[in-house]
Amino acid sequence: MKKVDINKGEALYEGKAKIVYATDDPSLVIQHFKDSATAFNAEKVGTISGKGEANAMISRHLFEMLETKGIPTQYVGFQPPTDLITRKLDMLPVEVVVRNVAAGSLSKRIGYPEGKPLKSTLVEFYLKDDDLGDPLLTIDHIRELDLITDSQVEALKKLGLQINDVLLKFFLECGLRLIDYKLEFGVADGQIYLGDEISPDTCRLWDVGTGEKLDKDRFRQDLGGVEEAYREVLKRIESN
C-alpha cells in the first residue's frame, strides 16, 4: 500500500459516490469515497454503511495490482480510510462497459437470460450525461458528437480488454465471477489513464460457488445484506 500525506484543499466536484478535492500539488487531487448510494440514475437513493471505506480500499488494491500489469492508472497513494490521492485527469466524456456475462441492461436489450455467458467479451460505450440517462453509443454517435477521436476509441477498447484479462483471473482467484463492469478514463499530459474507481459499485461480482450477488445489485434489487456483501468482497481481495 502506498500511503501518501498531502494537504486537502477546496472541494472541486461532488458526485453520487465521491467528492474530489484540490491539493497543494496542482497535478494531484484527493478522491473521498462516500457512503451514499444511488441507482437508476439517482431515482433510488440511500446509504450503505462503510461503503466509502470498502470501495476506497478495494479500488486502491485493484489500481495497485493493475499498475503491476502495465495498466496506467490515476492512482498515486492512499489516505486511510476513505481517500485516494490520484492524478488530476481531464476525464473523457464516455464510459466504457465491459461485459463477460449477460446481466442488467444487456439482458433486457438483447433478450438473453441473466447469467448467460457471452460468446466473446463485449466492449460498449456510453455517453456520460445524467440528464440523458447515460445512453449507449455507437461509433458513429461518438463521431457525430465529437466526443473522442477514433484512435482514442481504439485505445479505450484495447485497454478495456487488457484490464478484463487481468481482472477475470484475479477475481476468479478470489472466488468471484466478474460479470460486467464500468470503466472511466482520463488524460494527463497526453497519456490516457484509468480513472474513477473499480468496486462493487461499478462491477457485477457473483460468488463462483453459489451465484450470490456481492455488488450494488443488492441495493438496486432490495436483496438486503448490502454492507455485508461489500465487506466480503474487500475481505477476499485483501486475502488473495
Least-confidence region, from 44-48, 135-139, 192-196: 44-48
User: Whole-number mean pLDDT of the chain?
Assistant: 95
Ramachandran area for residue 169 (φ above 0: left; ψ -120 to 50: alpha; else beta): alpha
Does the structure show a pLDDT above 60 at 143?
yes
Cis bond leading into 81, ω under 30°?
A: yes
8-87 CATH choice from 3.30.200.20, 3.30.70.1340, 3.30.70.60, 3.90.180.10: 3.30.200.20
Does the structure show a pLDDT above 80 at 137?
yes
pLDDT for 38 equals 87
Does the structure show a pLDDT above 60 at 37?
yes
List pLDDT tens digits, range 58-74.
Answer: 999 999 999 999 999 99
Return the bridge partners of 184, or none: 95, 195
Domain borders along the chain are 8-87, 90-225
Which carries the bigger pLDDT value, residue 213 or residue 7? 213
pLDDT for 2 equals 55
Quick check: helix, strand or coil at residue 160?
helix
Quick check: helix, strand or coil at residue 236?
helix
The average pLDDT across 196-225 equals: 97
pLDDT confidence band for 1 (50 / 70 / 90): very low
CATH of the domain spanning 90-225: 3.30.470.20
Name the nearest CA neighbour of 30 among 90, 86, 77, 91: 86
List pLDDT tens digits, range 71-128.
Answer: 999 999 999 999 999 999 999 999 999 999 999 999 999 999 999 999 999 999 999 9
pLDDT for 195 equals 98
What's the pTM value of the predicted model, to 2 decimals? 0.94
